[in-house]
Structure 1
Amino acid sequence: MIAHVLLKHIEETPRMPIKTCISMVHSKYGKIISKRKGFLGRRRAFEMIFGTWESSFRALPGYIAALKHANPGTVVQWRLLEGRIFDFVFWAFKPSIDGFAHCRNVISIDGTHVYDRYDIKLLIAVGMDANGSIFPLAFAIAANETWGMFLTHLKTHVIKGRQGICVLSDRHKGILHNMCTLEGWQPPHAYHRYSLKHLKANFQTKFGNGTVNKLMWGVAMQHQQRKWATKMELLREVSEEAYVWLMKLEVEKWTLYANGGRR
């Protein structure tokens, strides 16, 4: 009953606040429901519109098949446990594979958790075109920690024989380990850089979002060594601790001036 009250509103606003759900039921029936009933009613309405987790997994093979049909040449790689339990799927669109040949020698990889009934992850790799714009390359949905499979398929189907690729990431242990052990990848110290996004986040956590944080970003974005050195001295005057923290990192892995032209 609660779900039917919320149905049309959930379709427009899937993340509707529980307080709003309770208010709508009160307006309809003059009764105040608990937060738990509001939560369960919202979830039921969501499932009535968008389906359940189980129905989504059942629909995934058909969805991927439709992607391949609409995009000829798209690469898809599955892994099923015991032949029927979903574990991993990788896909890269044909235009992305072809377009990477015209992108810079830089790939950014990252992953995010999908929190709910199942702890699955969405993995993604993007490049950068000549105009400095993000260029999507490959995607994966993984039920387990499978950076090894993702990097293997990325190398096989997207990078192929191209050499000297610079990889940006948050230096997750799974990424570092697989880049050291998988065939076709070099140890991270060779050309693996810190993602400035993650570096900035870690720096901000340690030193706060103030003047020091702005100075760090200005240092990292310098294209000339002379200007970089000047900015670093200014940072040192403001915070010796922040200066020491940054200098412990390999300069060529977090500054634009020293990255070998891969900026």
Structure 2
Amino acid sequence: MGTISQDHSKLDSDTIAEAIMPLVESDPSIKVKSIIAEVQSRFNYTISYRKAWLAKQKSIAKIFGGWEDSYQALPWWLSVMTQKMPSSIVQIETQLLYNGTEEADGVKILHCVFWSFNPCIRAFKHCKPLVQVDGTHLYGKYKGTLLVAIAQDGNQNIVPIAFVLVEGETADAWHFFLKNLRRHVVRKDGVSMISDRHESIQAAVNCSGGDWQPPRAW
């Protein structure tokens, strides 16, 4: 055979992680099948999909830090962002951690976080009185949902204006998002809001105290 199709016990995910680190650093979204092809080209062995996937995760962790490290650094990163871009908005809500029924002393976990960059806030003042909101599921280790609000300028360009990380598309999550969006970014009245009319959005609008109801919003 021109190639060796069997895997090799010493060609483990740690070894592969070291070998593919430059590839992952230049393109963190590299496909697993591309990693398999790279290993086959360099070592003449065809590794399993699982081993290639594990190697990619380990390589990403070594270059960019692990999931836990990333979440731990989030408050610091957002703090630096507001220092570098004054008037940017960050709202973080945390929850106490419980071991069963007992509270873990001094330990808090992320519940949700809203942020908007100052250039986005300023840009919205010159956009059409139109806001579109939607959410997308996150597929990392800890799941969750990213909610986004976008606007449109006079040249039909899409302008992202606010973001929030939440556990899921619940009424409470949308209420948290829309409340901060209205308070910090969309201050003008008479705006139109476009959504997919998700029942959680409807519930949040209904309990917004008129912030997202006529005549303030349509």
How many angstroms apart in 2 are the aligned matches of 1:183 and 1:158? Answer: 17
After TM superposition, give the deviation of residue 187 of structure 1 in Å. 5.0
CA deviation profile, 1:143-186 (whole Å, cap 9, x unmatched): 343111000001111123x2211001111111111111221334
The runs of 5 or more residues in structure 1 that have no matched partner are 193-263
Distance 1:178 1:35 in 2: 43
Hey, what does 1:127 align to over in structure 2? Answer: 151
Query: What secondary structure does 1:116 align onto?
Result: coil
Residue 177 of structure 1: aligned partner: 203
Alignment of 1:226-241 (within 5 A): none
More helix by share: 1
Evaluate the alpha carbon distance shift between residue 136 and residue 16 of structure 1 in structure 2; reply closer, same or farther with a 3 A threshold: closer
1:79 aligns with 2:93: yes
| Aligned counterpart, 2:127 | 103
Letter in 2 for 1:156: R
Provide the C-alpha distance between the structure 1 equivalents of 2:212 and 2:92, rounded to a whole number of angstroms.
25
Partner of residue 166, structure 1: 192
> For the structure 1 residues 129 and 29, does the alpha-carbon distance in structure 2 shift closer, same or farther, using more than 3 Å as the test?
closer
Instruction: Give the letter for the 1:153 counterpart.
Output: N
8 Å contact 2:87–2:118 — kept in the other structure?
A: yes
Equivalent residue number for residue 47 of structure 1: 61
Does structure 2 conserve the Cα–Cα contact (< 8 Å) formed by 1:103 and 1:127? yes
Name the structure 2 match of 1:137. 161
**Matching residue of 2:180:** 153
SS of 1:159's equivalent?
coil
Distance 1:33 1:176, change over 3 A: same
Over 3 Å counting, the alpha-carbon distance change for 1:26 and 1:152 in structure 2 is same
Distance 1:5 1:81, change over 3 A: same
| Aligned 1:182-201 pairs, distance under 5 A | 182-187=208-213, 192=218
Residues 96 and 36 (structure 1), Cα distance of their counterparts in 2 relative to 1, 3 Å cut: closer
Q: Deviation at 1:31?
A: 2.9
**Which of 23-32 and 68-77 deviates more?**
23-32
Between 177-186 and 105-114, report the one with greater CA deviation: 177-186
CA distance in 2, matches of 1:186, 1:122: 20
Residue 127 of structure 1 aligns to which amino acid in structure 2? A
Q: TM-score, normalised by structure 2?
A: 0.78
What residue identity is the alignment partner of 1:71? M
Residue in 1 aligned with 2:32? 18
Higher-Rg structure is 1
Rate the CA distance shift 1:38–1:105 in 2: closer, same or farther, 3 A: same
How far apart are the structure 2 equivalents of 1:135 and 1:176?
24
Deviation at 1:26, TM superposition (A): 3.0
Distance in 2, Cα, partners of 1:8 & 1:186: 48
- RMSD (Å), alpha carbons: 2.1
Q: Which amino acid aligns with 1:65?
A: S
Deviates more, 1:119-128 or 1:106-115: 119-128
Any idea what the Cα deviations from partners look like across 1:74-113, whole Å, max 9, x if unmatched? 1111100116100111112233333323322111111111
Gaps of 5+ in 2: 1-14, 97-106
Q: State the TM-score, normalizing by the size of structure 1.
A: 0.66
By relative contact order (CA 8 Å, sep 6+), the higher-ranking structure is 2
Report Cα offsets for 1:97-135 as digits up to 9, x if no partner.
333233221111111111121122211112222333223
CA-to-aligned-CA distance 1:37-80 (integer Å, 9 cap, x gap): 11111221122112211111011111111110111111111100
1:27, distance to aligned residue in structure 2 (A): 3.4
Q: Which structure has more strand as a fraction of its residues?
A: 2
Q: How many residues align?
A: 190
